[in-house]
Amino acid sequence: MSSTPWHDFRPSPRARIGAYGAMVVAPLLLGLAGWSAWAGGLAAAAAFGAIGLWFAHVAGLGATLWLRPHRRSRALPAPAPIDDGSPGLTFRYSWWAYYWQGAVLVLTSAPFLLLGLAGLTSGDTAEAVFGAVLVAGALLLLAVLFRVLRHAPGRLSLTPAGVYHRGPGGGRFVPWDAVLDVRADGTGAQPTIEVRAAPSDRSRSGTRKDNRSRFTARRAERSTALTVPAAWPAAAPETVYRTLRHYLRHPADRGELSGVAAVARVRQQRLN
């Protein structure tokens, strides 16, 4: 049995086929691009190269999210302030996770946008309508990209007062006395770390508590979990999981979360 908490996780057959298929197709297309360029077919080389580049990034995204989501890593957390200025032990999200997802979205939306603009300026009604649909699709993909990058880099911070998480959807803070459990969940599309919490009037969503709306305040009080995809932290997700569980089980150690003592504990793996 694997030592990772997600030893039972298996990506769906569709995800495995897609990721491994992209790994096979990408080098073939890039090889064709090189051969076409050598033979003088620059247009074919550009087309094969662009499509091969897209498949290569799909393969990278698939490997990150589904094939190796609970990888090993030597990255360590560091002390950093959260949204209200309180210092905490911070696990930052990996820029690679942002890169793979962002690159796939850009490479997918680019041909939609170019073909759509060509249709809109063609002068033909049917082509203009089809072009408008393509442009709308490209803008939708770019809106997803904006949502992903808006709060980048994401992070999970443990402070003496509670747990703060900032992901693509924004920031959220839960006090320790509201945290019920920390679980490693491998039942979904990708493995996650879940911080289960009871509703609390000291939980908050968005930015600083005094700037949030009534709607986000009520949503924070009702919400009962923080979810961190295991593939996103730069540190090994098992380390993130064990650190959360340690400080949940050992309240007396939480005072060290505001300084370097917590970093030393994680580096030495004194987590139980």
User: Is the model's pLDDT at 10 over the cut of 60?
Assistant: yes
140: left (phi > 0), else alpha (psi -120 to 50), else beta? alpha
Pair (130, 104) in one structural domain: yes
Domain-embedded: residue 73: no
Pair (176, 84) in one structural domain: yes
The sign of the CA dihedral 80, 72, 154, 221 is negative
User: Is the model's pLDDT at 116 over the cut of 70?
Assistant: yes
**Residue 141 structural domain:** 97-150
Domain-embedded: residue 6: no
Q: What is the pLDDT of residue 5?
A: 73
For residues 19 and 66, what is the distance between their CA atoms, to the nearest angstrom? Answer: 8
For residues 185 and 222, what is the distance between their CA atoms, to the nearest angstrom? Answer: 21
Pair (229, 164) in one structural domain: yes
Domain total of the chain: 3
Whole-structure pTM value: 0.80
Q: Each residue of 134-159: pLDDT tens digit?
A: 999 999 999 999 988 888 888 999 99
Domain-embedded: residue 1: no
Q: Each residue of 12-66: pLDDT tens digit?
A: 788 888 888 999 999 999 999 999 999 988 999 999 999 999 999 999 988 887 7
The answer to whether 179 and 196 have CB atoms below 8 angstroms apart is yes
